[in-house]
Amino acid sequence: MYDIDSRYAWRRLAASVALSTIGGIGMWFLAVALPAVQADLGVSRADISFGYTMNMLGFFAGGVVAGRMVDRRGIVMTSIASAIGLAAGFALAPMTSSLILFSTAQVLIGFSAAATFAPLVADVSHWFEKRRGLAVAIAASGNYIAGTIWPPIVELLIQDHGWRFAYLAAALFCLVAMIPLALALGRRPPDHEEARATAVATHSRDALGLSPNALQVLLIVAGVACCVAMSMPQVHIVAYCADLGFGVARGAEMLSLMLGFGIVSRVATGWIADRVGGVMTLLAGSTLQCVALVVYLFADGLTSLYLASILFGLFQGGIVPSYAIIIREYFPPREAATRVGLTVSSTIVGMALGGWMGGVLFDVTGSYQAAFLNGIAWNVLNAVIAAWLLMRQSRHAATA
């Protein structure tokens, strides 16, 4: 029987993680290729950071469109379209020496990669109830697994064959590997729990005293804020290490470590979310991420940067999956992919904005200190929103 919490649900989760891991290359590729592309195109750090911003804005738009498409058409067609779009974007990017055309290709790459993140997380959430937090966290880990395995591979390809060859190799691999995995997700989610889950979610949201749109807007703002902060180490750690004289390879290793420990954090916080709920998980992750950013302010040696990257990975991994858990707690299942797509895609806007702001602040000040301080300020905004939601939730529980 193909049902909630069944063995099939776990097999489907494994296929989703594999698909997310492959598609996630679209999000992490440029973070590693950034110095090589910058040198080849002869542009400034802020200019090439704009290319990354275009990638993230494409990811945002793709997350919204793909989320709605999944709710209406299912995950299979959405994932196949993602594979074709990624292949096209990776093939087009190395065919130009123009920053504008390169950035246009980044939009297509980001748009197509988005279908392998939030929509897959939302799809997985339909197949679990008792361990939904853990399953959602594991599904969201595909993106971090991608960030762990792809940076060293991409850096090696660029070192040996150049960034243009590396892009073409990524195009071929996405096309060949992703379509079979997409076809493995053919079964539609079970719907016999729809009415009960809708009633529970509506009651929980009404207890907050917020309309659906008001809660959605708050989650979008929180998503932008947390990922402006999150983007500083993730987008600029490779370039930061190169500027300090440690080399691009060390930066790629730090990014890989950061995201590898993020997987541990992501799975652990999924287990925690099943016990304390999504809002508390969000607040805890936001607070700890802020602590890690403060550590970066004082880390400028090779060892201290490795340690700071490990801490950052351990502290921030559970933030983004917590939004999907919150949405399943407060919105009907039939809206899951659309709502998760909107909220998680807003985190990509934060990554895009933060990545660009980091480049601009570096160009203006000549260092990344101001960029880290900027990230800390946005992080505080995220924590305030989470704390306010938790306060309203706790107040209702005390008077119920």
pLDDT tens-digit profile of 137-158? 899 888 878 877 888 899 899 9
Report CA 296 to chain centroid distance, whole Å.
21
How far is it, in rounded angstroms, from Cα 278 to Cα 283? 9
pLDDT tens-digit profile of 60-70? 889 889 888 88
In this prediction, residue 48 has a pLDDT band, given cuts at 50, 70 and 90, of: confident
Type of residue found at 355: G
Identify the residue with better confidence: 259 or 272. Answer: 272
Residue labelled with tokens 């899951």 = 336
| pLDDT for the residue numbered 305 | 92
Of 30, 23, 364, 323, which is closest to residue 179 (Cα–Cα)? 23
pLDDT tens-digit profile of 317-365? 888 888 988 988 888 877 878 888 889 888 878 887 888 888 889 888 8
Domain 7-399: state its class: mainly alpha
| pLDDT for the residue numbered 207 | 64
How far is it, in rounded angstroms, from Cα 296 to Cα 294? 5
309 touches 317 (CB < 8 A): no
Report CA 358 to chain centroid distance, whole Å.
18
CB neighbours of residue 209 within 10 Å? 11
Q: Which residues of 8-25 are buried (b: 16+ CB within 10 A; e: fewer)?
A: ebeebbebbbbbbbbbbb
- For 96-162, give the DSSP string: ---HHHHHHHHHHHHHHHGGGSHHHHHHHHTT-STTHHHHHHHHHHHHHHHHHHHHHHHHHHHHHH-
Residue labelled with tokens 């370039």 = 239
In this prediction, residue 253 has a pLDDT band, given cuts at 50, 70 and 90, of: confident
| pLDDT for the residue numbered 375 | 92
Q: Which of 2-11, 269-278, 286-295, 388-397 has the lowest mean pLDDT?
A: 388-397
221 touches 275 (CB < 8 A): no
| pLDDT for the residue numbered 2 | 60
Residue labelled with tokens 């949201």 = 205
| pLDDT for the residue numbered 284 | 92
Q: Which of 78-82, 269-273, 395-399 has the lowest mean pLDDT?
A: 395-399
Helical pair 163-183 and 25-41, crossing angle rounded to 10 deg: 170
CB neighbours of residue 299 within 10 Å? 17
| pLDDT for the residue numbered 387 | 93
Identify the residue with better confidence: 199 or 153. Answer: 153
Of 79, 63, 75, which is closest to residue 27 (Cα–Cα)? 63
Helical pair 336-365 and 45-73, crossing angle rounded to 10 deg: 180
What's the Rg (C-alpha) of the chain? 20
| Residue 395 tokens, joined | 């107040």
Q: What is the mean pLDDT of residues 195-220?
A: 74
Q: What is the mean pLDDT of residues 257-266?
A: 84
Determine the Cα angle at 308 with ends 170 and 141, to 5°. 45
How far is it, in rounded angstroms, from Cα 158 to Cα 36? 8
Structure letter (DSSP) for residue 43:
-
In this prediction, what percent of the chain has a pLDDT beyond 70? Answer: 94
How far is it, in rounded angstroms, from Cα 278 to Cα 50? 33
CA dihedral angle for residue 74, residue 135, residue 392, residue 316, rounded to 10 degrees: -110
How far is it, in rounded angstroms, from Cα 283 to Cα 271? 15
Q: Which residues of 49-68 are buried (b: 16+ CB within 10 A; e: fewer)?
A: bbbbbbbbbbbbbbbbbbbb
- For 207-224, give the DSSP string: HHT--HHHHHHHHHHHHH
Type of residue found at 149: I
In this prediction, residue 35 has a pLDDT band, given cuts at 50, 70 and 90, of: confident
Q: What is the mean pLDDT of residues 118-122?
A: 87
Residue labelled with tokens 């292949």 = 87
Residue 1 has pLDDT above 50, yes or no: no
Report the chain's mean pLDDT, rounded to a whole number.
86
Report CA 374 to chain centroid distance, whole Å.
20
Residue labelled with tokens 């399943």 = 328
